[in-house]
Amino acid sequence: MSPRIGVFGGTFDPIHQAHLRMAAAFADELALERVLLIPAGQPYHRARGARASPEQRLEMVRLAIAGDPRLQADDREIRRGRPAYTVETLRELRGELGQDAELWFLMGGDSLATLDSWKDWTQLFQLANLAVAMRPGFDWQTLPAEVRREWQARQVHDFSNRTASGTIRSLALPPLDLSATRLRARLASGQTAEGLIDPAVLAYIRQQRLYQ
């Protein structure tokens, strides 16, 4: 059987329970051997800069996934030292894993809604399959027309015919209303984030005095 590898890219500023729940559901639902969590080096999908350094975001990912052997932190985008495009990362992984590997890229519904602004976004489907985790408020009918077309044409609901790339599947996982932006605001105002962030990550945030 070909290897089945998941890729989960994000700013992870900080990594939170919705991310972890998504990564685990991703591995479970798609029977993945491994899920690579790849923190963005210099995110440019957002106007305001990240609050934690790339190294701190990577360390938080490492701490958060320590309990699940299927999840692995991958520092390639941080090592690149310049903004890294997802399409480049997937091309690199495809080169390493070979043409037969089943490659899955995971994103939230909000990211899908802006997919047409990503560099060479239509090439993503030649490189990987796409898994989408619903986020509260997601409505596929409001997707940009070109993304909606891909969503309709590529969606599969059963797995009798798994392919190395090219399909879209939404996770069955119920949406969870949680974002890093809201968590940073909570932490900055001195509120607790217990239960929303992994305890080891929370201890690291306190120790490093992040998001104050």
Residues that bind ligand ATP (CB under 6 A): 10-13, 18-19, 22, 107-108, 110-111, 133, 135, 175-176, 178-181
Smallest separation (angstroms) from ligand ATP to the CB of 18:
3
Minimum CB distance to ligand ATP smaller for 15 or for 164? 15
Smallest separation (angstroms) from ligand ATP to the CB of 106:
7
Minimum CB distance to ligand ATP smaller for 2 or for 11? 11
Tokens of 147: 């993304």
Minimum CB distance to ligand ATP smaller for 49 or for 161? 49
Smallest separation (angstroms) from ligand ATP to the CB of 206:
19
Do residues 204 and 180 touch, judged by C-beta distance below 8 A?
Answer: no
Give dist(CA 143, CA 91) in Å, integer: 25
CA 196 to chain centroid: 17
Minimum CB distance to ligand ATP smaller for 18 or for 32? 18
Residue nearest to ligand ATP according to CB distances in the complex: 108
Locate the DSSP E strands across 89-210.
Answer: 102-108, 129-133, 168-170
Minimum CB distance to ligand ATP smaller for 176 or for 193? 176
Smallest separation (angstroms) from ligand ATP to the CB of 175:
6
> What 3-state class would DSSP assign to 35?
strand
Give dist(CA 200, CA 175) in Å, integer: 24
The residues that bridge with 35 in the sheet, in sequence order, are 6, 71
